[in-house]
């Protein structure tokens, strides 16, 4: 019997004006994984997707082309079309509540106020999907959150973020081969 498919889904906003912004760190991790497995993307439905394998385990890399806060419709479409359960996906997102560069992996749980995770939970009617959060810090003033997440990282922040993207890439590939518990034990913190 073939190994079950899994999806690694990085959240972000489509379009070149959002490239390298804090909110698009999920897309950056997906691109880092694609570089590792030499995957290439094509548009299927509402997402860019690349299928590949790592150490004999098949999986898909996904960049929803809906905006961040409406990611659920694209994720639900792929989960349904591929006959997957919520536990078969790993969603990668930015997190304002974590210091820049810190990773937090969970097998399920709340959304922490992240609109992309909330929308996915609503569309899947479940919060039992694994998620990998990458800290982007919260160095913004009152009422400036939306502006902050849509700005590019500073050069100083990049010294923390670039290694975190590599670590997140490795954590996601560990999820594919060894499951969420191993990824959590190896990469949280």
**Residues with a known catalytic role:** 23
SS (H, E, C) the chain: CCCCCEEEEECCCCCHHHCCEHHHHHHHHHHHHHHHHCCCCEEECCEEEEEEEECCEEEEEEEECCCHHHHHHHHHHHHHHCCCCHHHEEEEEEECCCCCCCEEEECCCCCCCCHHHHHHHHHHCCCCCCEEEEECCCCCCCCCHHHHHCCECCHHHHHHHHHHHHHHHHHHHHHHHHCHHHHHHHHCC
Alpha-carbon gap, residue 126 to 136, rounded angstroms: 26
């Amino acid at each position: 019997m073939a190994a079950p498919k899994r999806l690694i889904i990085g959240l972000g906003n489509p379009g070149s004006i959002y490239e390298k912004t804090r909110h698009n760190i999920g897309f950056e991790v997906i691109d880092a994984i694609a570089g590792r497995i030499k995957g290439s993307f094509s548009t299927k439905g509402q997402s860019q997707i690349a299928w590949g394998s790592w150490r004999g385990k098949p999986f898909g890399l996904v960049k929803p082309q809906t905006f961040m806060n409406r990611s659920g419709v694209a994720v639900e479409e792929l989960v349904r079309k591929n006959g997957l359960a919520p536990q078969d996906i790993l969603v990668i997102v930015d997190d304002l509540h974590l210091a820049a560069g810190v990773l937090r992996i969970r097998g399920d749980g709340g959304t922490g106020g992240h609109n992309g995770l909330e929308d996915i939970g609503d569309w899947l009617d479940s919060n039992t999907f694994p998620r990998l959060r990458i800290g982007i810090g919260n160095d913004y003033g009152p009422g400036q959150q939306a502006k902050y997440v849509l700005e590019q990282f500073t050069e100083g922040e990049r010294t923390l973020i670039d290694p975190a993207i590599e670590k997140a890439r490795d954590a996601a590939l560990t999820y594919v081969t060894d499951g969420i518990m191993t990824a959590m034990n190896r990469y949280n913190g």
